[in-house]
Amino acid sequence: MDLIGWVIFIVALLVSVMLHETGHFVVAKKFGMKVTRFFVGFGPTIWSTWRGETEYGIKALPFGGFCKIVGMHSLDDPDDPADEPRSFRNKPAWQRIAVLSAGSAMHFLLALVLLFGLALGVGVEHYNTQVGTLSPCLPVSLTAYNNGSCAGSHQASPAKLAGLRLGDVVTAINGRPVSNFNQLTDDVRPLPSGTPLTIIVRRDGKLVTLHAKVASVKGLGSYLGVAPSGFVFQVPSPLSAIGYSGSTFGQVLVGSAQAIGQLPGGLHDLFNKKERANSAAGQVTSIYGAAQITGAELAANVGWQYKVSFVVLLIASLNIFFGAFNLLPLLPLDGGHIAVVLYERIRAWLARLRGRPDPGLVDMAKLLPVSFGLFMVLVIFSLVLIAADIVNPVSLTGG
The residues assigned a catalytic role are: 21
Residues 6+ apart with CB under 8 A from 378: none
Q: Which helix (H) or strand (E) holds 186?
A: helix 181-188
Contact 277, 395 (CB under 8 A): yes
| Whether residue 332 has a cis bond before it, omega within 30° of 0 | yes
Helix (H, G, I), strand (E, B) or coil at 375: helix
If we measure between CA atoms, which residue out of 243, 118, 147, 228 comes closest to residue 182? 228
In Å, what is the CA distance from 270 to each residue of 53, 288, 295, 397? 47, 14, 21, 16
If we measure between CA atoms, which residue out of 16, 122, 20, 5 comes closest to residue 67? 20
If we measure between CA atoms, which residue out of 68, 65, 58 comes closest to residue 37? 68
Within 124-229, strands assigned E span 124-127, 131-134, 169-173, 176-177, 196-203, 206-213, 215-217, 221-223, 226-228
Q: Is 362 left (phi over 0), alpha (psi -120 to 50) or beta?
A: beta
Contact 131, 164 (CB under 8 A): yes
Dihedral sign for Cα 333, 339, 345, 348, please: negative
If we measure between CA atoms, which residue out of 323, 143, 310, 176 comes closest to residue 233? 310
Residues 6+ apart with CB under 8 A from 210: 162, 163, 164, 198, 199, 200, 201
Count, in order, helices (H) and strands (E) of the chain: 11, 12
Torsion angles phi and psi, residue 121, rounded to 5: -90, -35
